[in-house]
């Protein structure tokens, strides 16, 4: 316990020590895993190469002696033995040829099986006599080494006439793998030493200004005076950290709460389609890809899931930009009639596909609002998309405008859908809220469309409201300030 306690005390003494230990631990584990995985791959590939070579040699020898195996004569046995010895000497292999009862007809290599011995109890011989090509790796008690055996059945007149077993010792392969392991370990040790030196330098360089900021922050916490700022003398990421600390100290708690809430909701929304994509991929890997109909069905489903994920990510990025005020062009002169027309035409194919009557009754010629045309169109497209999605076939979606106040225009989008439950009305503009609980996250919208619409309309100094009741459709009303032209004198 003394050693562990001293190590823990050293580790907790400073961030530099923690960074050093973390770098070293992560790098060592990563290199060790890569090294052992590389050794595994090398061994696997080497075994496969040996197996393929042994299979080819067994097939070639089988083609040479298949007729002699069908003959029960001394001359045939001599030819079989000569052929086996020739192939074995040429490639340095052990070749054993047995008849259809498992008796040895010829044995080369280690010479461990006398002629006439029955070795049908050996697993590879037994499998091959049954007509199945067999591959086994096992230790040989006679040679005290590991061997790779390939047993190949030789067929004549539709029956197994004998078996050719080709074997090779794995001693050389094991020695090569042992050398590779030593080289990998040396590389890991050398890399760890270099990492220690680099980590010490980097940790000290990174933690010095952090310690300065920590001291300043402790002084602020001690005095309770938040008018003091952290001194920033750097222009890199550490300097940016100091600036961010100075800028956010008054709002940190509230911003952290909002961030955590947003991340939790976004993670939940992203999880469902991601899991669905994984399920489709697993089904394809499990064999559905072999069935053309199932493959087409699963690929179509996968395409929809990817589109859903793309749409969700796009909405998340859009609402993040709106929250951060990243869109700067909000003072254009936007023609209301043109924006409405563009939004309607964008949604029209979707409405026609669903057999929903989409009508544009807007009379807004000459009306202009200050703002961003593409963003305002996005807001109207969101409202129209919802209206079309929730309106049954042969239903109606109507867009109209009203100017009851010379300084304000009303854009109304009315549908003949099922309406919205009164309990849901106060929440439909909330982020990730869904009025229709029956629609899944994968099949329905992202839950951000109306929230994005509200943010866009708010940036235009307008409002968006909804009137609805179950079974009587819904009417969304967007009110925007009209740009008033100065009077000519």
Q: Could you report the average pLDDT of every consecutive run of 10 residues in the chain (489 residues)?
A: 71 68 79 81 81 83 79 80 81 83 78 75 84 80 74 81 84 80 81 76 70 70 62 71 72 59 68 76 76 76 74 68 62 86 91 90 83 87 90 91 84 90 79 55 59 84 87 89 59
pLDDT at residue 443, rounded to an integer: 41
- 390: domain CATH number is 3.30.565.10
- 233-275 tens-digit pLDDT: 777 777 777 777 777 676 656 655 556 666 776 676 667 677 7
111: left (phi over 0), alpha (psi -120 to 50) or beta: left
Rg (CA), the chain: 39
Residue 22 sits at φ, ψ, to 5 deg, of: -65, -50
Whole-angstrom distance, CA of residue 427 vs CA of residue 304? 28
Closest among 482, 455, 480, 450 to 466, alpha carbons compared: 450
Mark whether 369 and 297 lie in a shared domain.
no
Structure tokens at 464: 């968006």
The verdict on 177 and 131 lying in the same domain is yes
What pLDDT is attached to residue 468?
87
Instruction: Let me know whether 417 and 444 are in one domain.
Output: yes
Its domain, for residue 279, covers 251-324
For residues 314 and 371, state if they share a domain.
no
Q: Tell me, yes or no, whether 181 and 278 share the same domain.
A: no
Euclidean distance between CA atoms 484 and 489, whole angstroms: 15
Report residue 226: phi and psi, to 5°.
-90, 10
pLDDT for 439 equals: 42
Nearby residues of 430 by Cβ (< 8 Å), 6 or more positions away: 451
Average pLDDT of the chain to the nearest whole number: 77
Contact present, 178 and 171 (Cβ < 8 Å): no
Number of domains the chain is built from: 3
Same domain, yes or no, for 288 and 412?
no
| Cα dihedral sign, 219-222-223-227 | positive
Say yes or no: 84 and 137 in one domain: yes
Other CB atoms within a 10 A radius of the CB of residue 470 amount to 11
Helix (H, G, I), strand (E, B) or coil at 27: helix
Tell whether 11 and 157 lie within a shared domain: yes
Residues 389-425 pLDDT 10s? 889 998 999 999 888 777 888 899 999 988 888 888 8
Q: Do 317 and 338 fall within a single domain? A: no
Task: Give the C-alpha separation, 413 to 338, whole Å.
Answer: 16
Q: Which two tokens stand for residue 20?
A: 């050093």
pLDDT at 413: 92
- Per the CB < 8 A criterion, the answer to whether 471 and 462 are in contact is no
Give the pLDDT of residue 478: 92
pTM of the model: 0.43
Query: What is the pLDDT, as a whole number, of residue 388?
Result: 92
Rounded to whole angstroms, the maximal C-alpha distance in the chain is 128
Same-domain status, 38 and 131: yes
The last residue of a domain, from among 296, 324, 352 = 324
Cβ atoms of 19 and 206 closer than 8 Å: yes
Sign of CA dihedral 34, 39, 42, 44: negative
Quick one: tokens of 65? 């002696």
Output the pLDDT for position 142: 63
Q: Is 224 domain-assigned?
A: no
Whole-number pLDDT of residue 384: 92
Residues 197 and 120 in one domain: yes
Tokens 């004998």 locate to: 162
Domain annotation covers residue 384: yes
- What the block records as the tokens of 445 is 């919208």
145 three-class SS: strand
Which positions ≥6 away from 105 have C-beta within 8 Å?
A: 69, 77, 80, 81, 97, 98, 99, 115, 162
Q: How far is CA 318 from the centre of its chain?
A: 22
Q: What is the pLDDT of residue 230?
A: 67
Q: Is 76 exposed, middle or buried (0-12, 13-18, 19+ CB in 10 A)?
A: middle
CATH classification at residue 298 = 1.10.287.130
272 and 304 inside one domain = yes
From 285, 304, 324, the end of a domain falls on 324
Last residue of a domain, which of 307, 324, 341?
A: 324
CATH value at residue 61:
3.30.450.20
Determine contact, residues 179/43, Cβ cutoff 8 Å: no
Helix pair 171-223, 15-69: axis angle to 10 deg: 160
């Amino acid at each position: 316990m003394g050693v562990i306690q001293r190590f823990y005390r050293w580790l907790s003494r400073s961030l530099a020590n923690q960074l050093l230990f973390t770098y070293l631990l992560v790098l060592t584990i990563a290199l060790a895993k890569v090294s052992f995985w590389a050794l595994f791959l090398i061994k696997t590939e080497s075994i496969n190469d040996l197996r393929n070579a042994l299979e080819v040699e067994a097939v070639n020898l089988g083609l040479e002696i298949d007729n002699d195996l069908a003959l029960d004569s001394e001359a045939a046995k001599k030819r079989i033995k000569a052929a086996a010895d020739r192939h074995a000497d040429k490639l340095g292999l052990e070749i054993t040829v047995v008849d259809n009862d498992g008796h040895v007809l010829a044995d080369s290599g280690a010479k461990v099986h006398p002629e006439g011995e029955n070795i049908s109890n050996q697993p590879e011989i037994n499998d091959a006599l049954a007509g199945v090509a067999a591959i086994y790796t096992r230790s040989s008690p006679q040679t005290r080494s590991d061997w790779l055996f390939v047993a190949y059945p030789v067929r004549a007149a539709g029956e197994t006439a004998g078996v050719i077993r080709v074997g090779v010792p794995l001693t050389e392969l094991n020695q090569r793998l042992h050398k590779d392991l030593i080289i990998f370990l040396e590389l890991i040790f050398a890399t760890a030493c270099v990492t220690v030196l680099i980590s010490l330098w980097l940790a000290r360089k990174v933690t010095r200004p952090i310690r300065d900021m920590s001291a300043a922050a402790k002084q602020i916490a001690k005095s309770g005076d938040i008018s003091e700022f952290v001194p920033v003398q750097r222009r890199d990421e550490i300097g940016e950290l100091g600036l961010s600390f100075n800028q956010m100290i008054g709002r940190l708690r509230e911003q952290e709460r909002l961030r955590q809430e947003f991340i939790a909701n976004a993670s939940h929304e992203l999880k469902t389609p991601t899991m669905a994509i994984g399920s489709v991929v697993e089904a394809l890997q499990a064999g559905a890809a072999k069935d053309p109909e199932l493959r087409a069905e699963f690929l179509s489903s996968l395409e929809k899931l990817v589109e859903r994920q793309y749409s969700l990510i796009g909405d998340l990025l859009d609402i993040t930009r709106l929250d951060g005020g990243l869109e700067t062009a909000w003072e254009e002169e936007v023609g209301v009639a043109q924006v409405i027309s563009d939004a309607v035409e964008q949604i029209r194919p979707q409405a026609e596909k669903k057999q929903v009557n989409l009508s544009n009754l807007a009379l807004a010629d000459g009306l202009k609002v200050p703002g961003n045309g593409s963003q305002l169109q996005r807001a109207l497209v969101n409202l129209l998309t919802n209206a079309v999605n929730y309106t049954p076939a042969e239903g109606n979606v109507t867009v109209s405008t009203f100017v009851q106040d010379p300084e304000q225009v009303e854009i109304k989008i009315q549908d003949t859908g099922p309406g919205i439950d009164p309990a849901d009305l106060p929440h439909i503009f909330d982020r990730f809220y869904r009025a229709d609980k029956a629609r899944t996250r994968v099949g329905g919208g992202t839950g951000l469309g109306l929230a994005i619409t509200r943010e866009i309309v708010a940036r235009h100094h307008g409002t968006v409201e909804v009137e609805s009741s179950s079974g009587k459709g819904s009417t969304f009303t967007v009110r925007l300030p009209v740009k008033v032209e100065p009077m000519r004198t």
